Amino acid sequence: MSENYTDDSVRTLDWKEHIRLRPGMYIGKLGDGTSHDDGIYVLLKEIIDNSIDEYVMGNGKTIEVNVQEELVTVRDFGRGMPLGKVIDCVSKINTGAKYDSKVFKKAVGLNGVGSKAVNAMSSYFKAQSIREGKTKIVEYRKGLLVNDQPLETNDSKPGTLISFVPDEEIFGKYRYLHEYIEEMMWNYVFLNNGLTIIFNGQKFQAKNGLLDLLERNIAGPERMVYPVIHIREEDFECAFTHANNSYNEEYYSFVNGQHTTQGGTHQNAFREALVKTIREFYGKDYDTSDIRTSLVAAISIKVQEPVFESQTKTKLGSQHIEPGGQSVRNFISDAIKRNLDNYLHINPETAEALHQKIVQSERERKDMANIKKLARESVKKASLHNKKLRDCRIHLNSNHEKRLETTLFITEGDSASGSITKSRDVQTQAVFSLKGKPLNAYGLSKKIVYENEEFNLLQAALNIDESLENLRYNNIVVATDADVDGMHIRLLLLTFFLQFYPDLIRSGHLYILQTPLFRVRNKKETIYCYSEDERVKALKKLGANPEITRFKGLGEISPDEFKFFIGSTMRLDPVILKRDLSIPQILGFYMGKNTPDRQKFIIDNLRLEEDLKEDKLIA
């Protein structure tokens, strides 16, 4: 092969070619919009971050965001880009004002890449700057300048307007889920008091920062052990409480407004400082897990010239608040020590509630120790990796760096598990096989997770015994038949995760696999249909006498066909837990005793389904 390595083998790519060739370097994974961290949301965030940085510097109190199908528009009322530098700002890599810390002291975007990446990865991109009574407009297609309009007079409010359409050549067929965008908008306003964001006509505002964030995400005061403790200083803010009926830690951490979903030095410093301060206040060396079990916390810090571990800025690596300044660890430790110690002395009822929660966690941990020991022995006896779990090579080879690419399919029955196992991508996709219907976990304590073999093996496969930090699969996909039994199994699995691991759902890891109901084909073409409407359209397209197959279960789909369903065209529905819904209420309604409310719900929906059928017949 060496004879083919010549001068012609060496290429120099321009900025847009490199971004389009290696998009993962700039926005992480691509995805189709099904997951909250897919690339199309990163593009939106990169543009909004620029507007947020303007707001932080005291320019413009409102940001307007509109998403209509594929077209995204963001309008701020900041200073607007310098009119002579608009082209440079959106198409010259490593160009921007954020290298000057005097202009943007504690900004999110510091690499001069964000808007250029959006430009290069969009089939259409438009930038307009308005300032000093004039406006400059430029338009691009896939990073190529197609319209450079001359300066014109404009009496609109100063600011910047960016419009773009993510390119299907890069992202494939995608869709924006507005639930994910709304969550993003809430986080922006929680972190920026006084900011107003208008998303598709809906206004987002907050008055009490992270206190509002936590109260909204906890979904009701009945879930709190004690009222949220809120600490706010100039460059640091945190809010936390302990949650009832929870067994995990849950964090919402931010740096300069950036949601650091993987934590980093600031989150580690908070955890250490909290444990140290509580131990000193109560004068007892409590176990770390007893203090942090069921903790729900939000943390925000502002850092000058922050260092992140990737362009997508999901984990803070900075050791210092500012170059050569105080360490992040000491800064947060001092703030927690000073404020929390005072708060607990002033609020003895909260101090007592916190103390009782720690004591309860200590007691439960000791009670569970023997049960967990027996459970681990049970896992070994069941030969987890040989019987229940067909693991992927990434884990078998201990390649944890690629965990974000991994998927676990949870399915039922030997035939369905066999088909998925034979057709999966063995590098990144694993299969967990259920035996029959799992137990209804509604109202049960976590003790059942270790005593029930099915649940014990599943949580061991996921590695979520102690926390979600070491979750082995980024995507957990429930793959059951599209019939009554399959729907029941799906509901029982959802109950298991909601009851014991709701944070796994809140973090966007759980999905439902859509499998086709029909296969419609003739000699030239095969169409898989996921609904009655799609079947009707397929019949019209293929014409007379096509062959129609009704899939009654996953086991009826051959491994060759499954390669199509669980490959690049895989259809997944994310399980989204709306913040205004209480988990106990959800579980009580669907999995509790047959209440009149649920009977009415079933009857009303049956009537609706019959009405829809009649409408189709009439049409």
Are 146 and 170 part of one and the same domain? yes
Residues 305 and 333 occupy one common structural domain: yes
Is 140 found in the same domain as 102?
A: yes
pTM of the model: 0.72
State phi, psi for 339 to the nearest 5 degrees. -80, -45
Judge if 325 and 304 occupy the same domain.
yes
Phi/psi for 56 (5° steps) reads: -60, -30
* Residues forming a β-bridge with 153: 134
The answer on 193 and 229 residing in a single domain is no
Helix (H) or strand (E) holding 511, with range, is strand 510-513
Task: Assign 3-state DSSP to the chain and report helix, strand, coil percentages, each to 5.
Answer: 45, 20, 35
Domain membership of residue 45 (yes or no) is yes
Whichever domain contains 311, its CATH number is 3.30.230.10
What are the b/e assignments for 577-608, b being 16+ CB within 10 Å?
bebeeebbebbbeebeeeeeeeeeeeeeeeee
252 shares a domain with 194: no
| 3-state DSSP assignment of residue 243 | strand
- Cβ-Cβ contacts under 8 Å for 70 (sequence gap 6 or more): 165, 166, 174, 176
Residue 221, in any domain of the structure: yes
Is the domain of 144 the same as that of 23? Answer: yes
Dihedral (CA of 189, 193, 196, 202) sign: positive
Q: Are residues 564 and 416 in the same domain?
A: yes
Q: Does any domain span residue 473?
A: yes
Domain of 536? Answer: 518-550
| Structure confidence by residue, pLDDT tens digits, 288-328 | 989 998 898 999 998 887 877 765 567 888 788 887 778 88
7 falls within a domain: no
pLDDT level of residue 106 (50, 70, 90 thresholds): low
**Considering only CA atoms, which of 226, 237, 387, 224 is closest in space to residue 300?**
237
291, 324: one domain = yes
Domain tally, the chain: 4
Share the mean pLDDT of the chain. Answer: 82
Residue 57 has pLDDT above 60, yes or no: yes
Residues facing 264 on adjacent strands = 316
Angstrom distance (rounded) from CA 504 to CA 243: 15
pLDDT at 452: 85
Q: Is the pLDDT of residue 568 over 70?
A: no
In the listed set 335, 365, 395, which residue is the last one of a domain according to the structure? 365
Q: What is the CATH number of the domain that holds 23?
A: 3.30.565.10
Q: Which residues pair with 239 in a beta bridge?
A: 230, 298
Q: Which of 170, 186, 204 is the last residue of a domain?
A: 204
Q: Is residue 486 part of a domain?
A: yes
Distance of alpha carbon 538 from alpha carbon 548, whole angstroms: 10
Phi-psi region of 398 (alpha: psi -120 to 50; beta: other; left: phi over 0): left
Q: How confident is the model at residue 440 (pLDDT cuts 50, 70, 90)?
A: confident
Q: For 413-483, where are the alpha helices, taking DSSP H only? A: 414-423, 447-451, 453-462
Whether the predicted pLDDT of 619 surpasses 50? no
Query: Each residue of 475-495: pLDDT tens digit?
Result: 999 988 877 788 888 888 988
Check: CB of residue 241 under 8 Å from CB of residue 274.
no
More confident residue, 595 or 508: 508
We report the CATH number of the domain holding residue 454 as: 3.40.50.670
Domain check: are 361 and 436 in the same one?
Answer: no
The pLDDT assigned to 618 comes to 32
Q: Would you say residue 599 lies in a domain?
A: no
- The reported pLDDT for the residue numbered 615 is 41
pLDDT of residue 274: 94
Q: What local confidence, expressed as pLDDT, does residue 613 receive?
A: 42
Tens of pLDDT, residue by residue over 163-220, are 999 999 998 889 999 989 999 999 999 998 889 999 999 999 998 999 999 888 876 6
Q: Where are the beta strands (DSSP E) in 317-406?
A: 389-390
pLDDT tops 50 at residue 508: yes
- In this predicted structure, the answer to whether residue 611 has a pLDDT above a threshold of 50 is no
- CA 112 from chain centre, in angstroms, equals 25
Position 62 scores a pLDDT of 95
- The answer to whether residue 601 sits within a structural domain is no
Of the chain, the percentage scoring pLDDT greater than 70 comes to: 82
Q: Are residues 360 and 423 in the same domain?
A: no
Q: How far apart are CA 303 and CA 105, in angstroms?
A: 9
> Are residue 301 and residue 405 in the same domain, yes or no?
no
Q: Compute the distance between CA of residue 276 and CA of residue 333 in angstroms, rounded to an integer.
A: 9
The pLDDT score that the predictor gives to residue 286 is 94
Give the mean model confidence (pLDDT) for residues 54-79.
92
* pLDDT score at 294: 86
99 pLDDT more than 50: no
- pLDDT of 184 reads 92
| Residue 110: per-residue pLDDT | 41
Predicted local confidence at residue 95, as pLDDT: 59
Q: What is the pLDDT of residue 616?
A: 40
- Measured at the CA of 376, the angle between CA 368 and CA 473, to 5 degrees, comes to 100
Q: What is the mean pLDDT of residues 105-133?
A: 80
Give the pLDDT mean for 48-73.
Answer: 91
User: Is residue 587 a part of any domain in this protein?
Assistant: no
User: To 5 degrees, how large is the angle CA 232–CA 244–CA 489?
Assistant: 125
d(CA 87, CA 149): 11
Distance CA 106, CA 123 (A): 32
Distance of alpha carbon 396 from alpha carbon 255, whole angstroms: 35
Q: Name the least confident of 96-100, 335-339, 367-371.
A: 96-100
Residue 152: exposed, middle, or buried by beta-carbon count in 10 A (0-12, 13-18, 19+)? exposed
* Alpha helices, DSSP H, located in 283-325: 288-292
Last residue of a domain, one of 148, 182, 204: 204
How far is it, in rounded angstroms, from Cα 306 to Cα 315?
10
